[in-house]
Amino acid sequence: MAPLDDPARLSDARKEELRAVLTRSAAALARAQALSVRHRALRESTTAAMQDNRGARDEAQRARDGLREAVCRYVAVLREDGAPPERVVTLVKSATSPELSAPAVGGDAQASRVLLAEVVSWCIDAYYVA
């Protein structure tokens, strides 16, 4: 019979050692369970944040598409009225610049420049397609 099968045959030192192992094992299990709960909570909050991000991205894309459509319609009207391309670009930039300024796009100057460049590109494309 092995000593672990008969606790009475274990020395006091060995019993104390086994108690310490059992205590450390229980503590490790408790930490693992707490980490598992924390992991689930983090996974749920990350999933929610990703869904919010997708929603914001989709909303931004719809707004960008609406802006492009409005710019193209404006360019078509200006071209029909006989405005030359350089004048159309100037008018479109002056009409959109306040709404595309850095403060209007969350203080992001780079985003403002990129969006204004896209507006100018849409303007030129629309002028020569119309």
Q: Is residue 3 scored above 80 in pLDDT?
A: no
Kindly state the percentage of the chain with pLDDT values over 90: 74
Q: Three-state SS string across the chain, please?
A: CCHHHCHHHCCHHHHHHHHHHHHHHHHHHHHHHHHHHHHHHHHHHHHHHHHHHHHHHHHHHHHHHHHHHHHHHHHHHHHHCCCCHHHHHHHHHHHHHHHHCCHHHCCCHHHHHHHHHHHHHHHHHHHHHC
Tell me the average pLDDT across 25-29: 95
Q: pLDDT (tens digit, 9 = 90+) per residue, 78-94?
A: 999 999 999 999 999 99
